[in-house]
Amino acid sequence: MAKREIITLPDPLLRTVSKPVKTVDASTRKLMDDMLETMYDAPGIGLAAVQIGVPQRLVVIDTSKEDEEKQPLFLVNPEIVWSSEEEADYEEGCLSIPEFFDMVTRPKEIKVRYLDREGVEQERLCDGVLATCVQHEIDHLNGILFIDYISKLKRDRVVKKFTKAQKFARSGA
């Protein structure tokens, strides 16, 4: 496994729609292992491949608590096939938008269909923080960021802040 660099706002790759994975093979599993190590190190509970510069429909998630045994979830080509009408609010953050958090309203429960680490099709009913995380990561695969769910004013401020920070970092100041 190898830790990868997480790209951050305003990198245009974050707005890219990721391509489906054709086959789950050793290189796919190696990439997912790298993603998992990167996510744990960050630390985070979800990571989409596009966040490390690889626009493929791959997601890793682990919502286990620090004192619990790790329970990684590998989602290849995930798609939401059902979502509840009932909604829930969660404060979301993103490894590609560090140190910014805001409330987002999403369906409370979803059913996701995906290929697992071995390429076997699975379906899983998700609720709570897992439902929120799966939706957040699938949004990444579609070029959508959680800030797209907040007010335009807040979103514009966040984008401006990260764009300014990037320019400052590039200038070497």
Active-site annotation, residues: 137
Task: Write the DSSP symbol of residue 63.
Answer: -
* C-alpha pair distances (Å), 125 with each of 61, 83, 106, 110, 164: 15, 9, 15, 6, 41
Alpha-carbon 70 to chain mean position? 18
Burial 148-162, CB ≥16 within 10 A → b, else e: ebbeeeebeebeeeb
